[in-house]
Structure formats: structure tokens, C-alpha cells
């Protein structure tokens, strides 16, 4: 029951910007890999720097991952294993990613639309420009994500 309460608080609090990071390492963030992000900019894992290119808005339990203050959202290039994730213009209905669920290891998992694909840190590497992709959902650490408030503090709902 406590997990359901935390998940409900998580969904309500996503209106403000968050950084997305591997659940076991808050020093690395999902980052738009361009100085001036545009539609087609690839996403990767980079050291957290406080850049606006690492600030994401979420909307609801079935939501989009929107770059803060921009009409650019994260989406895979295709619905297949290994498809890289890029920015594109946000869909009007604001629904792109499926449910945000608890990962078995305690973090969160982001599934894409109505598929069995999840946001995945390619090969689990933490290095400059390591791509973010989608892959079949499973219990691996590379699909275990955390969220940090832009002010650097963990939100109350984060386990």
C-alpha cells in the first residue's frame, strides 16, 4: 500500500521539472546531446551539470517526457530493440510513454506507449554521449531509473 501512495505522489508531482538518472547513480543524467536541442537531437547519458538539456517535465501516469520549456519530447526512432531515443515535436495529446512503474530493484521503469519496450541505458555505460535506447522491458539495472528535483533534492516520493 505504501508503494501505491508513493506512486500517486510521484504522478501528482511530475508537473515540475526533474532530472532522470540511472537509479544507482545520481551524478549522471539523461541529456539532449546538442547545444541547441531541436527535433532529431539524440539523447544520451552525461554527467549532471544543471543544464536545461537535462530538465524534463512529466504529465500524469501515462505521459510524455518533455524537455523543460520546449515543445520537444523524447521518442524512439522505431519500435524495436536498440532503437535510439531522440527529441521530436511533442504530440498534441501529450501521451507518448506508457505507465511509470516500480522497477523490481526499487527505482522506476518507463515503458514506451502501449509496447513492451522500456527506456534503457545502452550497455549500462556511464560515459559521454552513451546513447539512450528502448529495449524489451526486463529487470536489468539499465532500465532502472530515478528522478531528482531540479533543485538537486530528491522528491519526497522517491524511495
pTM: 0.80
Distance (Å, rounded) from C-alpha 60 to C-alpha 53? 21
Q: How many separate helices (H) and strands (E) can be counted in the chain?
A: 1, 13
Tens digit of pLDDT per residue, the chain (159 long)?
A: 444 333 333 444 445 688 999 988 999 999 999 999 999 999 999 999 989 999 998 765 556 788 988 999 999 999 999 999 999 998 876 666 766 777 777 778 888 887 899 999 999 888 888 999 999 999 888 999 988 875 444 434 333
- CATH number for the domain spanning 115: value is 2.80.10.50
The answer to whether residue 31 is domain-embedded is yes
The dihedrals phi and psi of 141, each to the nearest 5 degrees, come to -60, -25
In a domain, 124, yes or no: yes
The parent domain of residue 143 ranges over 2-149
In a domain, 134, yes or no: yes
Say how many domains are in the chain: 1
For residue 94, tell me if it sits in a domain.
yes
Sign for the pseudo-dihedral over CA of 141, 145, 151, 156: negative
**Cα distance between residue 128 and residue 19, in whole Å:** 17
Is 48 contained in some domain? yes
34 domain-assigned: yes
**Residue 155 falls within a domain, yes or no?**
no
18 in any annotated domain: yes
Residue 113 Rama label (left phi>0; alpha psi -120 to 50; beta): left
Amino acid at each position: 500500500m505504501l508503494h501505491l501512495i508513493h506512486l500517486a505522489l510521484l504522478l501528482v508531482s511530475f508537473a515540475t521539472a526533474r532530472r532522470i538518472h540511472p537509479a544507482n547513480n545520481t551524478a549522471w543524467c539523461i541529456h539532449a546531446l546538442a547545444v541547441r536541442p531541436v527535433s532529431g537531437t539524440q539523447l544520451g547519458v552525461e554527467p549532471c551539470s544543471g543544464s536545461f538539456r537535462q530538465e524534463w517535465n512529466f504529465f500524469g501516469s501515462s505521459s510524455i517526457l518533455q524537455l523543460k520549456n520546449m515543445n520537444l519530447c523524447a521518442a524512439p526512432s522505431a519500435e524495436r530493440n536498440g532503437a535510439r531515443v531522440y527529441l521530436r515535436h511533442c504530440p498534441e495529446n501529450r501521451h507518448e510513454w506508457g505507465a511509470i512503474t516500480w522497477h523490481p530493484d526499487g527505482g522506476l521503469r518507463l515503458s514506451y506507449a502501449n509496447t513492451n519496450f522500456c527506456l534503457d541505458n545502452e550497455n549500462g555505460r556511464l560515459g559521454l554521449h552513451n546513447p539512450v535506447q528502448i529495449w524489451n522491458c526486463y529487470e536489468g539495472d539499465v532500465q532502472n531509473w530515478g528522478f531528482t528535483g531540479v533543485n538537486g533534492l530528491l522528491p519526497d516520493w522517491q524511495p
